[in-house]
């Protein structure tokens, strides 16, 4: 049977506020346990929440960026359940009236097509603390530093049809929240995590299959792997005559499998109701309009501009606009060298592999955009060849200075004096007289292959500095004499 | 000294008729002598009270004078007091020493008040008799076989027995006004949000309101003056400006239009209480007030709506008492669930458990619309009733309670009967309007209260009317025999 997959994501983005959503405690990551837990975070009797306006502002920025409906009023609700790292016995969240309503985001797929993904809602809520199971034999430690950290839970429509699309969507949201400066996007520290709702159905069926939810997936790679694993598991289960049960599952990256956490029957009745300690949040229209003017150029707008202004493919443009830093870097390089194609090739090629290899972020690049742009200028004006440029690039990465300094110091300037090149070629041909004879009696096909040999010899003789185009032309003339 | 009202203590201290220390020791001695038969205090802060008294005397000796400087008070034990046990009259918090001080107590401390200790109450403010306290019931000083009302039971008893001139209380469904009525005191529940809730242990957050029990309206006015106002720590506290309550007291009543809701005078009401209320009406007429009959048609639904919403809120407000961070924890829990179940089961009393169960049920999937949402609709209707009534009248007057204080233990096994005793007080909490109970007569040696209700933030009007009434009556000045 042909199967079809339906995926929806719930992304928890930790908002980059200085203080917690309902208390004045710091949100800095990694402090000593319980040093960032105030009376409110500890749920002392008689304490009350006060909403952090910065969190509201950030949620509105997100709403505007995904073209969502932002109602004049939104309401906080209590989600009730007992857990040791949930000090009040309820999580203050939003249920019926979230701050961000229906919106959408356009994402670029690998084949270059654009897909519009619906965003059902995004709501504000507080994070829980952490239970520490190690180091306390027979007991559990509780660290409430994270309790009360503001989260924006972004819920997509069930419109993603495979793991790759899900990852593309998650990456697009990740890019967006970092563009907006509302989330640091640090997945290792849990600032950006994802619940994946997955179901399968026979191709053509319109009703949805029973879904399972994979909780707290914290890397793009794991999103892809866990979804693929879950799709496979569900299909095999159904094909073997079984039934998918609605449940929450956990992905184990070590075993690359998902396993059941709790079924629907075991699920809590959260008894949501409006939190009586917090007034409905009023969002004045003029505040929204004011925020709208503060929106930066968004990833989609940037991608479209890169395509239009620089003639880039959708895929290249989306890679280059994947982060504000990357896009800024690219734009500086392009501006200096005035050659978008060259800039794209180098930023997505040499530079990206260097960063990957060193596991660095673009903001930590050992080669500055100015240096790279300067080097590309030297390629364009024929001072160096592309091949020499790779040497120069490595030297720049090693901190030896800018391209001009390196070219000068190492004597890498390209030879373009045709007299000098001709003299060098004469020497090469003389040294390989036998091959020259062979070349001259060979057919076109064989000649083509041998021509490469001569070019190689010539470039080696010039230590790579001879202008390759001139070498080609002059060599051809000489051999065909 | 103990016969003086708070206002007169203030004057006597200013006139150096006695020192704060003399007054404080006198009251502490009375408490030690008399409270064992009344059980109004949970914690007596003898040493710190004497220290505060000496500090107040010192300030007064340097010429510093403030109306409340050196005035002794005691606080309902749900207000957090730094370094002092704050038990909420529950085994759950029997060992809980608060790490901070509630806004209302803090403001009174800053105004110079001295705290003699913490007062008994119904457990977590759930009850109308004082009998649900983990520390045992407080006794009504007018008849120690009877309840003093609740939940601010100790707050009423300590003032009525002249152990302290005034006390703080909280009123979510009548918990200040009803015990004030049962013990012959003036008790004010301000508008919801008039006094910060910061540091007041939550029972039903959308109803909870701090207030005061004292002998006179004037005393209440002085305390309200020191505590009313916006607090940025409480998002539900009101930004409304604070009136000058003390100044308003002397305004005459001429032209005052008072509404008498027919629903407050039906067959539920003990007719003897009805007679007391009508005598009070006659007295107010002589002072220039005019009376009209009005109707609050949604009133019959008030009690069920109140108990659904209050219990729903209580069920989640009390979730934090889980034995994990503070408070009672059961011995040797075998796992997490055991820790939760036994800690809560062993430390909460019957009434608290009952309301947690009711509230949990009312919020559950499948019942939410039928109970919680419906109750909220009734709440809206009751608010509308008051809004329309106050278009035609300045004040609403009626009995505070349908019956006299009952015998201790007589309603313990009939919670619904006890809930129905709140019929006249819960509407003000549902609407959020201010209310006051003032003593207006005696029946069989037991005090009777008359209740005044005013539009939002019109506490000054309540206090003014009660004060003018008290200028022409002496019910507020009576003392139970033996105290």
DSSP assignments along A96-119, one per residue: SS-SB-SEEEEEE-TTS-EEEEEE
Q: How far apart are CA A371 and CA A402, in angstroms?
A: 5
User: Using one digit for the tens of pLDDT, what is the confidence trace for B192-215?
Assistant: 999 999 999 999 999 999 999 999
- pLDDT computed for residue A139 by the predictor: 85
Cross-chain residue pair B316–A80, CB shorter than 8 Å? yes
Q: Do A271 and B364 touch (CB under 8 A)?
A: yes
Please name the member of A39, A50, A89 whose beta carbon is closest to the beta carbon of B235.
A50
Sequence-distant (≥ 6) Cβ neighbours of residue A197 within 8 angstroms:
A7, A8, A9, A10, A158, A211, A212, A213, A214
Q: Which of A33, A48, A81, A87 to mutate to test the interface with B (most CBs of B within 10 A)?
A: A48
Closest C-alpha among B77, B45, B94, B234 to residue B151: B77
Alpha-carbon distance of A215 to A10, in angstroms, equals 9
* pLDDT tens, residue by residue, B61-81: 999 889 999 999 999 999 999
Q: Which residues of A touch B102 (CB under 8 A)?
A: 46
Report the first-to-last Cα separation within chain B, whole angstroms: 12
Domain ranges of chain A: 3-290, 297-410, 418-479
Q: Looking at the complex, report in whole angstroms how far the Cα of residue A6 sits from the nearest Cα belonging to chain B.
A: 27
Is residue B21 pLDDT above 90, yes or no?
Answer: yes
pLDDT at A442: 86
Q: Does A425 touch chain B (CB under 8 A)?
A: no
What proportion of chain B, given as a percentage, has pLDDT over 90? 98
pLDDT tens-place string over residues A2-33:
999 999 999 999 999 999 999 999 998 889 99
The beta-carbon neighbor of A50 closest among B199, B233, B326 is B233
Residue A21 confidence (pLDDT):
98
The residue count of chain B comes to: 483
Task: Write down the CATH number for the domain with range A418-479.
Answer: 1.10.10.410
* Nearest C-alpha neighbor of B157 from the set B36, B71, B46: B36
Contact A155, A10 (CB under 8 A): yes
Task: Say what the pLDDT of residue A111 is.
Answer: 85
Does B205 sit within 8 Å of A276, measured CB to CB?
A: yes
Is the confidence at residue A198, as pLDDT, over 80?
A: yes
| Best to test chain A binding among B235, B314, B372 (most A CBs inside 10 Å) | B235
Is the bond leading into B442 cis (omega within 30 degrees of zero)? Answer: no
| Residue B434 backbone zone (phi > 0: left; psi -120 to 50: alpha; other: beta) | beta
pLDDT of the residue at A419: 86
Distance CA A41, CA A20 (A): 9
The model's confidence at residue A257, banded by pLDDT at 50, 70 and 90, is confident
Across the interface, whether the CB atoms of A78 and B200 are under 8 A apart is answered: no
B294, pLDDT greater than 80? yes
pLDDT band at B277 (very low <50, low <70, confident <90, very high): very high
pLDDT for position A435: 87
Measure the CA–CA gap between A112 and B462, rounded to whole angstroms: 73
* Cα-based distances in Å from B363 to A43, A314, B482: 22, 50, 48
Residues B331-354, mean pLDDT to the nearest whole number: 96
Separation of alpha carbons B349 and B91, rounded Å:
8
CA atoms within 13 A on the CB side of B230: 6
- Region B321-325: what's the mean pLDDT? 96
A44 and B CB contact within 8 Å? yes
Provide the pLDDT confidence category of residue A477 given band limits of 50, 70 and 90.
Answer: confident
User: How far off is chain B from A250, nearest CA to CA, in Å?
Assistant: 21
Burial A90-107 (b: 16+ CB within 10 A, else e): bbbbbbebbbbbebebeb
Residue pair B137/B147 in contact by the 8 Å Cβ criterion: yes
Number of domain units in chain B = 1
Q: Name the token pair of B198.
A: 């910061």
Distances (CA, A) of A329 to A60, A322, A347: 28, 12, 8
Q: Residue B319: closest CA among chain A residues belongs to which residue?
A: A89
pTM: 0.90
pLDDT of B238 over the 90 cut? yes
B167 and B207 in contact (C-beta within 8 Å)? no
Mean of pLDDT values over B454-466: 98
CA distance A94 to B224: 35
Specify the pLDDT at position B8: 98
Q: What percent of chain B has pLDDT over 70?
A: 100
Asked if pLDDT for residue B125 goes beyond 90, the answer is yes
Q: What is the ipTM of this complex?
A: 0.96
Which residue in chain A has the smallest CA separation from B92?
A45
Tokens 């940025």 sit on residue: B232
pLDDT the model gives residue A420? 86
Taking contacts as CB-CB distances below 8 angstroms, the residues of chain B near A271 are: 315-316, 360, 363-365, 368
* pLDDT score of A276 more than 90: yes
Q: Closest to B316 (Cβ–Cβ): which among A47, A51, A90?
A: A90
Predicted local confidence at residue A467, as pLDDT: 85
- Burial of A307 (C-beta count, 10 Å sphere; 0-12/13-18/19+): middle
Q: Exposure pattern of A26-50 as b/e (b: 16+ CB <10 Å)?
A: bbeeeeeeeebbbbbbbbbbbbbbb
CA angle A72, A75, A81 (to 5 degrees): 160
Token pair 């994946």 is at which residue?
Answer: A196
pLDDT at A29: 86
The pLDDT-based confidence of A263 (bands split at 50, 70, 90) is confident
Partners of A278 on chain B (C-beta within 8 Å) are 235-236
C-beta atoms of A82 and B313 within 8 A: no
Instruction: Give dist(CA A132, CA A136) in Å, integer.
Output: 8
Whether residue B447 is contained in a domain is answered as: yes
Identify the band that residue B270 occupies on the pLDDT scale cut at 50, 70 and 90: very high
What confidence tens digit (pLDDT) does each residue in B382-422 have?
A: 999 999 999 999 999 999 999 999 999 999 889 888 899 99
Catalytically active residues of B, by annotation: 76, 151, 175
- With cut-offs at 50, 70 and 90, classify the pLDDT of residue B146: very high
Cβ(A155)–Cβ(A122) below 8 Å: yes
Residues of B near A (Cβ–Cβ under 8 Å) read 78-80, 86, 88, 93, 96, 98-100, 102, 197-202, 204-206, 232-236, 312-313, 315-316, 318-320, 322, 324-326, 336, 340, 360, 363-365, 368, 372
**A133 interface with B at CB cutoff 8 Å:** no
Which of A42, A87, A276 lies at the smallest CB-CB distance from B206? Answer: A276
The pLDDT of B102-123, averaged and rounded, is 98
Q: Residue B296: its pLDDT value, please?
A: 97
Buried b (16+ CB within 10 A) or exposed e, A411-429: ebebbeeeeebeebbeebb
Q: Is B57 contained in some domain?
A: yes
Tokens 């000083």, residue located: B141
What lies within 8 Å, CB to CB, of B475 at 6+ separation is B184, B438, B439, B440, B441, B442, B447
Confidence of residue B311 (pLDDT cuts 50, 70, 90): very high
Query: What residue of A is the nearest CA neighbor of B103?
Result: A46
CA distance B318 to B309: 14
Residue B291 lies inside a defined structural domain of this protein:
no
Summarize pLDDT for A97-120 with one digit per residue, the tens: 999 999 999 998 888 899 999 999
Cα–Cα dist B252/B424, whole Å = 27
Q: Does A88 touch chain B (CB under 8 A)?
A: yes
Please name the member of A49, A78, A89 whose beta carbon is closest to the beta carbon of B322.
Answer: A89
- Asked if A6 is an interface residue toward chain B (Cβ–Cβ < 8 A), one would say no
Instruction: Count how many Cα atoms sit within 13 Å of the Cα of residue B106 in the half-sphere of its side chain.
Output: 14
Which candidate in B202, B328, B376 is best for mutational testing of the A interface (most A CBs within 10 A)?
A: B202
Question: Tell me, what's the pLDDT at B9?
Answer: 98
Q: How far apart are CA B153 and CA B314, in angstroms?
A: 20
Say whether A89 and B202 touch across the interface (CB within 8 A).
no
pLDDT of A153 above 80: yes
Q: Which residue has the tokens 């563009």?
A: A179
The CATH number for B415's domain is 3.90.1300.10
Q: Is residue B172 part of a domain?
A: yes
Residues 6+ apart with CB under 8 A from B353: B345
Is A45's pLDDT higher than 80? yes
Beta carbons of A48 and B372 less than 8 Å apart: no
Using CA atoms, how far residue A247 sits from A257, A260, A267, B372, in Å, is 15, 7, 8, 29
- Partners of residue B78 in chain A, C-beta under 8 Å: 45-46
């Amino acid at each position: 049977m042909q199967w079809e997959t339906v995926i929806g994501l719930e992304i928890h983005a930790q908002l980059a506020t200085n203080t917690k959503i309902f208390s004045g405690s710091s949100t800095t990551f990694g402090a000593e346990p319980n040093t960032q837990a105030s009376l409110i975070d500890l749920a002392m009797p008689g304490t009350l929440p006060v909403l952090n306006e910065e969190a509201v502002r950030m949620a509105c920025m997100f709403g505007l960026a995904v073209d969502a409906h932002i109602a004049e009023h939104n309401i906080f609700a209590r989600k009730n359940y007992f857990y040791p790292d949930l000090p009040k016995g309820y999580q203050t969240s939003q249920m019926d009236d979230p701050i961000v309503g229906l919106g959408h985001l356009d994402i670029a797929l690998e084949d270059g097509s654009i897909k519009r993904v619906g965003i059902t809602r995004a709501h504000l809520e507080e994070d829980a603390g952490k239970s520490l199971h190690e180091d306390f034999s027979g007991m559990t430690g509780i660290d409430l530093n994270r309790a009360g950290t503001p989260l924006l839970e972004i819920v997509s429509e069930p419109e993603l049809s495979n793991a790759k699309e899900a990852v593309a969507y998650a990456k697009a949201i990740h890019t967006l929240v970092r563009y907006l400066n509302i989330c640091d996007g640090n997945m290792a520290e849990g600032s950006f995590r994802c619940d994946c709702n997955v179901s399968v159905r026979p191709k053509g069926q319109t009703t949805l299959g029973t879904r399972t939810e994979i909780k707290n997936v914290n890397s793009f790679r794991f999103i892809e792997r866990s979804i693929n694993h879950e799709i496979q598991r569900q299909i095999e289960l159904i094909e073997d005559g079984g039934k998918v049960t609605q449940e929450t599952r956990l992905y184990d990256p070590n075993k690359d499998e998902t396993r059941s956490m709790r079924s629907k029957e075991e699920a809590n009745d959260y008894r949501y109701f409006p939190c009586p300690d917090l007034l409905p949040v009023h969002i004045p229209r003029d505040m929204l309009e004011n925020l709208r003017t503060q929106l930066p150029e968004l990833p989609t707008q940037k991608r479209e501009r890169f395509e239009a202004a620089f003639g880039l493919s959708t895929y290249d443009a989306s890679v280059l606009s994947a982060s504000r830093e990357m896009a800024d870097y690219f734009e500086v390089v392009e501006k200096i060298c005035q050659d978008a194609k060259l800039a794209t090739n180098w930023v997505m090629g040499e530079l990206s592999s260097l960063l990957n290899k060193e596991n660095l972020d673009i903001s930590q690049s050992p080669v500055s955009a100015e240096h790279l742009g300067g080097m590309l200028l030297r390629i364009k004006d024929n001072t160096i060849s592309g091949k020499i440029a790779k040497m120069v690039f490595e030297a720049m990465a090693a901190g030896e200075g800018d391209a001009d300094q390196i070219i000068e110091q190492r004597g890498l300037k390209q030879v373009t004096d045709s007299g000098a090149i001709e003299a060098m070629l004469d020497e090469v041909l003389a040294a390989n007289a036998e091959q020259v004879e062979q070349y001259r009696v060979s057919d076109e096909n064989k000649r083509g292959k041998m021509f490469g040999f001569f070019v190689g010899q010539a470039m080696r003789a010039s230590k790579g500095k001879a202008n390759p185009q001139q070498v080609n032309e002059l060599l051809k003339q000489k051999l065909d004499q | 000294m103990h016969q003086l009202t708070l206002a007169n203590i203030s004057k006597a201290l200013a006139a150096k008729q006695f020192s704060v220390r003399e007054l404080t020791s006198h009251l502490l001695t009375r408490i030690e002598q008399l409270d064992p038969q009344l059980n109004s205090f949970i914690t007596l802060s003898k040493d710190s009270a004497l220290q505060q008294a000496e500090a107040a005397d010192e300030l007064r000796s340097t010429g510093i004078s403030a109306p409340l400087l050196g005035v002794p008070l005691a606080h309902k034990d749900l207000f957090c007091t730094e370094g002092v046990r704050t038990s909420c009259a529950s085994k759950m918090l029997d060992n809980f020493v608060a790490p901070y001080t509630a806004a209302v107590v803090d403001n009174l401390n800053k105004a110079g008040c001295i705290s003699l200790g913490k007062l008994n109450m119904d457990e977590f403010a759930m009850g109308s008799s004082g009998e649900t306290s983990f520390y045992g019931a407080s006794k009504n000083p007018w008849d120690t076989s009877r309840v003093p009302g609740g939940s601010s039971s100790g707050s009423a008893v300590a003032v009525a027995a002249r152990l302290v001139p005034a006390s703080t209380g909280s009123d979510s469904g009548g918990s200040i006004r009803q015990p004030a009525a049962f013990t012959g005191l003036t008790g004010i529940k301000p508008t919801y949000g008039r006094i910060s809730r910061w540091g007041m242990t939550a029972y039903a957050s959308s109803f909870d309101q701090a207030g005061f029990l004292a002998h006179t309206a004037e005393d209440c006015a002085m305390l309200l003056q020191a505590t009313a106002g916006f607090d940025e720590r409480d998002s539900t506290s009101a930004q409304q400006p604070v009136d000058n309550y003390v100044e308003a007291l002397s305004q005459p009543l001429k032209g005052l239009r008072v509404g008498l809701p027919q629903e407050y005078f039906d067959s539920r009401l003990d007719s003897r209480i009805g007679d007391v209320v009508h005598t009070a009406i006659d007295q107010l007429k002589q002072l220039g007030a005019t009376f009209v009959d009005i109707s609050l048609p949604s009133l019959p639904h008030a009690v069920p709506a109140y108990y659904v919403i209050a219990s729903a809120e209580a069920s989640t407000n009390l979730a934090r008492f889980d034995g994990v961070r503070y408070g009672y924890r059961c011995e040797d829990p075998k796992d997490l669930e055991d820790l939760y179940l036994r800690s809560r089961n062993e430390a909460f009393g019957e009434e608290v458990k009952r309301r947690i169960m009711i509230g949990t049920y009312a919020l559950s999937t499948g019942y939410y619309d039928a109970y919680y949402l419906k109750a909220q609709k009734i709440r809206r209707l009751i608010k509308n009733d008051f809004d329309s009534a106050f278009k035609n009248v300045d004040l609403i007057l009626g009995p505070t309670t349908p019956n006299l204080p009952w015998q201790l233990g007589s309603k313990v096994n009939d919670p619904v009967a006890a809930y129905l005793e709140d019929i006249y007080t819960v509407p003000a909490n549902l609407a959020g309007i201010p209310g006051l109970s003032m003593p207006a007569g005696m029946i069989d040696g037991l005090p009777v209260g008359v209740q005044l209700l005013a539009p939002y933030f019109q506490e000054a009007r309540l206090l003014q009317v009660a004060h003018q009434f008290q200028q022409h009556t002496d019910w507020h000045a009576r003392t139970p025999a033996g105290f």
